Chains A and B, each alone.
Chain A
Amino acid sequence: MADITCKIAGVTSPNPFWLASAPPTDKEYNVVRAVEAGWGGVVWKTLGEEGPPVVNVSSRYGAINYGGNKMAGLNNIELITDRPLDVNLKEIERVKKNWPDRALIVSLMVPCEEQSWQKILKRVETTGCDGVELNFGCPHGMSERGMGSAVGQVPEYIKQVTEWCKKYTKMPVFVKLTPNITNILHPARAAVSGGADAVSLINTINSITSVNLDLMAPEPVVNGIGAHGGYCGPAVKPIALCMVGEIARDPDCKKIPISGIGGISTWRDAAEFISLGAGSVQVCTAAMHYGFKIIDDLTDGLSNWMDEKGYQTLDDFRGKAVPNYKNWQDLDMNYDIKAVIDQDKCIQCGLCHIVCEDTSHQAVKAERLGDTRRYTVIDEECVGCNLCMLACPVDTCITMKRVDNGKPYLTWPNDPRNAANMKKA
């Protein structure tokens, strides 16, 4: 059986699945339920500085349902913890003492002043936790007070705060990045140059999930009004994967350990993040949708898949997809594939035809032989776009077969059809 023990930035956990800093990790009760269920670690919900209380509003979540599936995407307008700092610290200390093998990271968000960070780090260090995560990500609420993504959107601030933290604590420092920027590499490089031990990404994406058409207000509606919130859940996974991949392949990020976050719901999602360079993975929406019990399939599924592939540890496949993540101009212009429809598996729904006919290349022919409908690919028209395969409701009914054209790997910069090359010629 594969060993799924996870090591990242000096923090170890029995498995790579951590609960992200969010409502599920707001207090001891929830966290204990999670570790009892088998979660490898938790990032405690963000603590703020001691003093005036944080107060949350009623109605905090909005969701995207799609095709009968609930919570394909979720957003929230909840602030950082609204419980007193000392209560949280006592609970953190107790949990770490009782569950020493689990990773316990504490998320922090205080004003952008050296003293504030110095003060809170001192308090947190006493809990015996494994590390801190700097919340530079939340796009809602706290950002209006100059914290969260307001910091994460300014690389100079990231670097500065990271440096302070490294100065005042020996604990590993994870910097949590906001995706609400144009290029993730700028904040990531800032964290690296500030001395961060790891980056965590992505935090939530600024969003309005829906408009309540009766109230004419964005969801979640708070007494007739809505505010933008942080978007997460399965729908954001592709965005998160891309940003993780960007950092993993960037030489300037110097292979900084990554705690991957963003729509991770299954072991397969986790395997994808790890293969794109993530060390641990953090989960929130999936647990908020189904409860902590999903950990069973997360760990079991990952381990079984690793056995099947012959990976003995997470390091065996960590980052294995990174070398294959390139830019468009590195792709092979001579690669040629055509859709093939397995007539034995075809249920005659005709979606392959209509999507190609209406929206693509008119490459799937529809024929009728009495009551039988027959859909076949016109190879000369097929550009190998995958659309029919993606629309087909039957797994493996449509596959893409490579055409052996004998041509060499040819990138666009070298392609004779490229205008730049024409000029040369």
Chain B
Amino acid sequence: MSKAAEAENPVDIAAGRLSAAQYAENFSDVAPPLDRNSAVTEANRCLFCFDAPCIEACLTSIDIPVFIKKISTDNVKGAATTILSANIMGGSCSRVCPVEELCEEACVRNTQSGQPIKIGQLQRYATDHLYSRKDAQVFTRKPATGKKIAIVGAGPAGLSCAHGLAREGHNVTIFEARPKAGGLNEYGIAAYKVAGNFAQRETDFILAIGGIEIKNGQALGQQITLSQLRKDYDAVFLGMGMKGVNALGLEAENLQGVENAVDYIEKLRQAKDLGKLPVGRHVVVIGGGNTAIDIAIQTKRLGAEYVTLVYRRGAGEMSATHHEQEFAQTNGVTIKHWAQPKKLIGFQGHVTGVEFEYTQLDANGKLMGTGDTFSIPADMVFKAIGQTFVATPLKEQGRDLLQLTKKGRIAVNEDGQTSLPGVWAGGDCTEGQDLTVAAVEDGKIAAIAINRALKEKK
């Protein structure tokens, strides 16, 4: 590119904006682990409630007072066993759960002293401790039953279900489209929340029970079909994620530099050298969920100078928690509320900015544009306005094999059973909260139901 053309081209995307040391610092553990002394001190604050509200607020019903009591007596292995017995991914949940809206919000210490017990951090303390032990295996696999179960998707739902079934002595084969297991823990969660290759460590721990085989590069509807799995296996569990990403619905969305936030995060999570990952000087993120927050913070930490997150409604309506919003702001992300994208501005096929229109609610509470517009320069624009479950792989010969909900996800009963006999489902492909902990619970419950069904069949 000639010097003249370079001067005209306003796009500024570059790799290596920071030093290696800065990358390392920016993507290290966001919340350093508690040491023994802090953990025991914090554990001693727990009141050991009867009918503890925290247990109920945990989607996997971990017996929180019991595991905290065990931490306070240095029975840390026992604490981890209590946690993992209820939630086999208690390690990643301790890092990624929005605890301020779940267990910690329910903690009675909020009312008593304004400070809940740091349940998430204590849970991490216990599970980290277990993973660091040589005798980490606290579960035993029952004698082999000879039953075979196919699981589609090696994310939290699939892995949780697999572990539950493997413990019962069944043989599990997991079909995973991607090259690695772990699902969003491996590909989607912000890097600094699961630092140190944690997702892989946790997956290894789960697989160590035995009886679980993972086949990578196996996507439903491509290498495998549901009909075939039903024929070849005694039961099937579907634990796919959300492959679809909502579009902005604007013209020129195919401009270079306009990208799905989840795709970029996946690249970031798998990057061997973050210094080689190009990032814009000006970054605009559109959306109000945790993905929007995650991409905004991570691009900032990659060296983007100006990161603006724009959301069409107010702070209270954002699905990202208050804690996450605040964290973005302390990371230097500008959050702009009440504005919606109107136009992507481009130069020579590359995005250079976004025009927004201010929004407000009309008398009926409906969102409408005010007509007042402004634009923000952008070398990169990330779409983070939601993901969708793509049900096409469940269609065979032009018809849906199983019933979907109105929202297009797989319909299941309370056991995770689908309308198709022998097929269960859970996690993001079904309805419910789109959280790791919810997926783990789905997988756990389905494993119990599948085990029961297989026994009854006998």
Which residues of B are at the interface with A, using a C-beta cutoff of 8 A? 40-41, 44-45, 47-53, 56, 72, 108-109, 111-112
Contacts and interface: CB of A to CB of B under 8 A. Distances in A.
Contact of B50 (A366, A371, A393, A394): A366
A68 B112 contact: no
Contacts of A331: none
In this complex, which of A67, A348, A353, A354 has the most chain B Cβ atoms within 10 angstroms of its Cβ?
Answer: A348
Interface residues of A, number: 15
Contacts, number: 40
Contacts of B51: 350, 353, 366, 368, 373
A348 B44 contact: no
A55 interface: no
A354 B51 CA distance: 9
B111 A68 contact: no
B50 A68 contact: no
A349 interface: yes
Given A373-B53, A393-B112, A349 B40 contact: no
A347 B50 contact: no
Interface string A377-404: 0000000000000000110000000000
Contacts of A68: 40-41, 44-45, 72
B53 A348 contact: yes
A349 B45 CA distance: 13
Contacts of B41: 68
A351 interface: yes
Interface in A328-374: 347-351, 353-354, 366, 368, 371, 373
A347 B112 contact: yes
Nearest to B53: A348
16 contacts: A68-B41, A68-B45, A347-B108, A347-B112, A348-B108, A348-B111, A349-B49, A349-B108, A350-B50, A351-B47, A351-B49, A351-B50, A353-B50, A366-B50, A371-B53, A394-B112
Contacts of B47: 349, 351, 393
Given A67-B44, A68-B40, A394-B112, A349 B72 contact: no
Interface string A67-81: 110000000000000
A373 B41 CA distance: 27
Nearest to B110: A347
B66 to A, nearest CB: 13
A170 B402 CA distance: 103
Contacts of B52: 350
Contacts of B111: 347-348
A366 B51 CA distance: 9
Contacts of A351: 47-50
Q: Which of B50, B52, B72, B111 has the most chain A CB within a 10 Å cutoff?
A: B50
Name the residue among A68, A347, A368 with the largest chain B CB count within 10 angstroms. A347
B44 A349 contact: no
Nearest to B42: A68
A373 B108 CA distance: 11
Given A350-B51, A353-B51, 16 more contacts: A67-B72, A68-B45, A347-B109, A347-B111, A348-B111, A349-B47, A349-B49, A349-B108, A351-B47, A351-B48, A351-B49, A351-B50, A354-B50, A368-B51, A373-B51, A394-B112
A373 B49 CA distance: 12
Nearest to A391: B47
B44 A350 contact: no
Contacts of A349: 47, 49-50, 108
A283 to B, nearest CB: 26
A394 B108 CA distance: 11
A351 B111 CA distance: 15
Nearest to A66: B44
The winner among A67, A349, A351, A371 for most chain B CB atoms within 10 A is A349
A101 B44 CA distance: 44
Contacts of A350: 49-52
Nearest to A393: B47
Nearest to A348: B108
A373 B50 CA distance: 10
A348 B53 CA distance: 8
Contacts of B49: 348-351
